[in-house]
Structure 1
Amino acid sequence: MANPSGSDHDADASIGSETTDPVDPVAADDANTDRVAMDPPTEVLGSSDGGAQPERRFTAPGFDAGATQVIPPQDDPATEVFQPQQGSKAVPQAIPPRTGGGLSGRIQNSWGWVLAVTLIVLALAAIAVLGTVLLTRDTTSAASQEEMVRSTISEFDDAMQKGDLTTLRSITCGTTRDTYVNYDDAKWATLHDKVKRAHRYPMVGSIDEVVINGEHAEANVTAYMAYAPTERSTRSFDLQFRDDKWKICQAPVG
């Protein structure tokens, strides 16, 4: 048999090597496994349509696995659905304007109450003081009027003892005053000197009672004659309020 040429020989050699070299299936599986392990796992998402196939998940097989493992899909958790609340629509409300300006308004109101209470207290105090003054004035007035009556009677008694014609004219009224006015001063002095030496003039021992009724007063006294001091009797004086003074309008007759 003739030897082939060089090119033919090389071609035959390559063919022969391809056909004669045995292939190890385990090595081939390891090579495929290495390639799968190096590549990241691929996630296949299913279609969003309801009738589509559920998504399938794959994981890379281990070096000793013979095939790729398929992970069954898991159902997604149910989504909670909130029902919309059927509420009434909000209605606009009218807010009245503030009066007084917050804190300043409250302060003004407080001062208003304080002022009102103060005025009430002052009014009550004024009424109490006025009532006290009126009562005191009435009491004082009655007491002072009685003292004035007593003072007039005492003054008249003293003027009779001394013969003071001027005083007798100033503290008497009516017909009693007319009697003293008609006396001549010289004649009165002579007459009084005679009466005094004879002790023929009346004297007031005590003022027992005074009754005042408006501008008229009556006083009961215990009187006696100077010449008979033990012989006493009750006499009365009638007085009238004239010229801001109590005056004797009727003197007791001795």
Structure 2
Amino acid sequence: MYTNLTTELADGILTITINRPSKMNALNQEVMRELALAVDEVYNNIDVRSAIITGAGEKAFVAGADISEFLQLNTEEGADLANRGQLIFQRIEESPKPIVAAVNGFALGGGCELTMACHFRVAAENAKFGQPEVNLGLIPGYGGTQRLVQLIGKGKAMELMMTGDMIDAAEALQLGLVNHVVPAGQLVEKTREILLKIHAKAPLAIAKVIKCVNAYYKEGEDGFKTEAQQFGECFATRDLQEGASAFMEKRKPDFKGE
């Protein structure tokens, strides 16, 4: 099904691996097309409870975009390229099922933007992050100018995007860009551990958490109003009845996502 990706479903976790190690897993348009299909599987496959996005090999998560595709583009084509990429990354961000980046090396340019579209990030100790587009006469185009500010604040985001500097995993953790830093050999294990913990919670409630948190950043949307609405909708679910009953009966809940 895929030429540039591999996928594996185990324990309800779909692991999506960008598989171009000879090109440092760089994002070209074919990779983006296949990534969109993989994200569709997260949405549509009832056996998928969550997903991990990672890169093949030990050097790179995604070391950027395939620059060779940029040389012949005009203004309109460049804007269209950015719009298509933003739509794919928005689908990741708005997925009702958790999608987590397991960052196993360089996450630069479009690769850093991909990690930021995920719901959170777990990094190997050798991971490095950056938006070096200004070195090419470009700026981030897949949402990087917006999400980096959201995650680490305006001043530091401005500095990183204007200097093109890379930061290591330790600094990314300090800035809040990643949630955890672990030895490379423990990266997928740690990410799976977190997702399996999430799997024990009510799936509909998890989806509503994602929706409400994203509402904070949406222009024109009142996040408090969205929260109240989503909170109210929980009372129409069997999961709330199960969770409340399990709490009262001092047992583990058995959520069905209903």
TM range (shorter): under 0.3
- The answer to which structure has the higher helix fraction is 2
TM-score, normalization by structure 1: 0.15
Q: TM-score, normalised by structure 2?
A: 0.15
Q: Which has the higher contact order (CA 8 A, sep 6+)?
A: 2
